[in-house]
């Protein structure tokens, strides 16, 4: 009986199977008409056709990781024999080199640069810009997964860290003008004659916000933080160079608009990105520190002894806050001194028992004291040093070898003093002295 029942059920089951099998009328939606293999093959030829379709090849500004690094522009011209001509602005060598590429099918269709060329410079474990990227190079990839096309651009995602990379059609000018990217880099770094302070100013059509702006050339990366209290917005961005300016990633978002293309203005060294409706972002120079401090007050008359020192043979010489002009002036002093003599330190004593003075010491000759009086510019938050005497002798002229460097301390516009947040090896606080009318800045320890 049991057996019989079992057969019944089996009979019914097989009957159902019979009746429903071989039925072509499926109601399920057909997502794809082709087999996966056919679709992969189709994608492969689609990518291959696209790569070969552009007369002057393709351009990609490759931001390998826009949280630490900037963009590296690459130009590619693909040929149907599996070779590619490539140039990049990774370094000064912007010449074009030939190598091989392949369209590989793995989990998806990808473009791989299979033999060595410029793009591999971003993926050299032994060549890294900062210690944090040790063994990681510039975090670059050279296998790009194909994600389709949009507005004539080819969309890829990098194999290793899944970042979007777009190939846009290159022009004949792109190839000719590539070396200009590195000329533009000099403008992003900023020339010696430019002011020392830089800011990013955003305007959403009604409100203006200001951010400090500091650029690191080795990583092509800029940090930009709000200087307004109670407004803690940061725009940290990777920077790529173009012949006319820069392209940034992530874009600076102002008033809901994303600004990424900045145009350089050589007159004032600024970079401007303009949106619609009065929206803009400008990276520009300013002669005045963005945030003025009261740190100069240590040196005003009536205060206790204050002692600041810069030393040629100590960590103060390596301070990133020293300006190029300051170094150039030190060189000038040494060049003007007889052989075997050189400047050793510049110290500033405020309210010492013998007065307030700049104390210059040397290797191979005696020290000199430049006695001064200090006046306060309370509105401009700076101090103005006025000549009194050399070593107490009011009739002696300024020694010729010190005349050039000394005049920056005697800047009639005054000197800004700032307590820096960084330290130079020792725990002593670090202070900088900046001339108000020129890019002259010296780093010191506050020794008392």
Partner 1 sequence: MKLLKYNKIAVLALISTTLFSCGSDDLPGESQLDFTQPEKTSLDNWIDGTYLNPYNINVQYKWNQNTVDNSRFLFPPAVDKVKPALEIVETIWLKSYAAIGGPDFVKKIAPREIVLVGGVNLNSVGTRTLGLAEGGQRVTLFETDYIDQTDRANVSEFIHTIQHEYIHILNQNKPFDEKTWKTLTPGGYTADWYNYEIPESNELGFITSYARSNINEDFAETASMILIYSKTEYAAFLAGIQSPFALQALKAKEAIVVKYFKEAFNMDFYALRDEAEKNTTSVIN
CA-CA distance, 208 to 284, in Å (whole number)?
A: 14
- 84, β-bridge pairs: 78, 99
The reply to whether 81 sits near partner 1 by the rule CB under 8 A is yes
Give me the DSSP letters along 205-266.
Answer: SS-EEEEE-EEETTTTEEE-BB-STT---B--EEEEE-SSEEEEEEEEEETTEEEEEEEEET
For residues 194-233, which are near partner 1 according to CB under 8 A? none
Binding-residue pattern over the window 34 to 53 for partner 1, x denoting contact by CB under 8 A:
-x-xx--x--x---------
Applying CB under 8 A, does 423 fall inside the site for partner 1?
no
Beta bridge partner(s), residue 202: 209, 281
Stretch that binds partner 1, among 135-143, 244-252, 376-384, 389-397 (CB under 8 A): 135-143
- In this complex, which beta carbon is closest to partner 1, that of residue 140 or of residue 275? 140
Q: Does 95 bind partner 1 (CB under 8 A)?
A: no
- Is 351 a residue that touches partner 1 (CB under 8 A)? no
Using rule CB under 8 A, residue 139 touches partner 1: yes
Asked if residue 31 binds partner 1 (CB under 8 A), the reply is no
Of 377, 390, 392, nearest to 437 by C-alpha is 377
One-character DSSP codes across 256-309: TEEEEEEEEETTTTEEEEE-STTEEEEEEEESS-SS--SGGGGGSTTSPPEEEE
> Judged by CB under 8 A, which stretch of 140-148, 170-178, 254-262, 326-334 contacts partner 1?
140-148
* The length of the chain, given as a count of residues: 448
Task: Specify the 3-state DSSP secondary structure of 388.
Answer: strand
Region binding partner 1 by CB under 8 A among candidate stretches 14-22, 174-182, 225-233, 294-302: 14-22
**297 binds partner 1, rule: CB under 8 A:** no
- Residue 3 lies near partner 1 (rule: CB under 8 A): yes
Tell me, residue by residue from 155 to 184, as one string, x for binding to partner 1 by CB under 8 A and - for no binding.
----xx------------------------
Q: Which of 17, 31, 397, 400 binds partner 1 (CB under 8 A)?
A: 17
Asked if residues 109 and 47 have their Cβ atoms less than 8 Å apart, the reply is yes
Q: If binding is defined by CB under 8 A, does position 135 make contact with partner 1?
A: yes
Total residues interacting with partner 1, rule: CB under 8 A? 43
Q: How far is CA 81 from CA 100, 102, 112, 118, 408, in A?
A: 9, 10, 15, 19, 64
87 lies in the site for partner 1, by CB under 8 A? no
Contact stretch for partner 1 (CB under 8 A) within 30-38, 339-347, 366-374, 419-427: 30-38
- The neighbour count for residue 66, using CB atoms within 10 Å, is 19
Q: Going along 129-196, which residue ranges are E strands?
A: 143-150, 153-158, 164-169
CA 316 – CA 344 distance, rounded (Å): 12
Would you tell me which residues interact with partner 1 (CB under 8 A)?
A: 3-4, 7-8, 10-11, 14-15, 17-18, 21-22, 35, 37-38, 41, 44, 81-82, 99-100, 102, 106, 112-116, 120, 123-126, 134-137, 139-140, 142-143, 159-160
């Amino acid at each position: 009986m049991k057996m019989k029942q079992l057969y019944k059920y089996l009979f019914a089951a097989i009957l159902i199977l019979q009746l429903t099998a071989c039925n072509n009328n499926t109601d399920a939606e057909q997502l794809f008409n082709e087999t996966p293999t056919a679709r992969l093959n189709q994608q492969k030829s689609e990518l291959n056709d696209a790569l070969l379709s552009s007369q002057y090849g393709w351009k990609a500004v490759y931001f390998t990781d826009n949280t630490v690094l900037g963009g590296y522009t690459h130009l590619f011209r693909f040929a149907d024999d599996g070779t590619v001509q490539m140039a990049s602005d990774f370094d000064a060598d912007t010449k074009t080199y030939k190598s091989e590429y392949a369209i590989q099918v793995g989990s998806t269709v990808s473009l791989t640069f299979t033999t060595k060329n410029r793009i591999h410079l971003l993926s050299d474990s032994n060549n890294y810009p900062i210690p944090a990227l040790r063994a990681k190079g510039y975090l670059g990839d050279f296998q790009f997964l194909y994600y389709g096309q949009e507005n004539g651009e080819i969309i890829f995602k990098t194999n290793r860290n899944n970042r979007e990379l777009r190939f846009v059609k290159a022009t004949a000018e792109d190839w000719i003008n590539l070396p200009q990217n590195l000329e533009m880099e000099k403008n992003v770094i900023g020339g010696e004659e430019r002011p020392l302070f830089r800011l990013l100013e955003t305007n959403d059509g009604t409100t203006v916000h200001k951010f400090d702006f500091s650029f690191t050339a080795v990583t092509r990366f800029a940090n930009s933080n709000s200087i307004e209290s109670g407004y803690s917005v940061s725009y940290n961005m990777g920077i790529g160079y173009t012949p006319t300016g820069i392209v940034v990633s992530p874009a600076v978002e102002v008033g809901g608009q994303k600004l990424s293309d900045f145009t350089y203005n050589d007159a004032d060294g600024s970079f401007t990105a303009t949106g619609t409706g009065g929206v803009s972002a400008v990276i520009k120079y300013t002669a005045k520190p963005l945030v003025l401090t009261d740190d100069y007050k240590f040196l005003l008359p009536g205060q206790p002894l204050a002692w600041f020192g810069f030393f040629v043979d100590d960590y103060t010489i390596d301070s990133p806050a020293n300006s190029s002009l300051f170094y150039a002036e030190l060189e000038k002093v040494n060049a003007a001194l007889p052989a075997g003599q050189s400047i050793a330190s510049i110290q500033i004593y405020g309210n010492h028992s013998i007065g307030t003075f700049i104390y210059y010491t040397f290797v191979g000759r005696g020290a000199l004291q430049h006695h001064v009086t200090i006046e306060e510019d309370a509105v401009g938050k700076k101090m103005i040093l006025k000549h009194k005497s050399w070593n107490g002798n009011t009739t002696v002229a300024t020694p010729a070898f010190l005349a050039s460097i000394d005049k920056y301390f005697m800047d009639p516009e005054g000197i800004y003093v700032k307590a820096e947040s960084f330290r130079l090896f020792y725990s002593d606080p670090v202070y900088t002295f900046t001339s108000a009318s020129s890019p002259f800045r010296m780093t010191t320890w506050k020794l008392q």
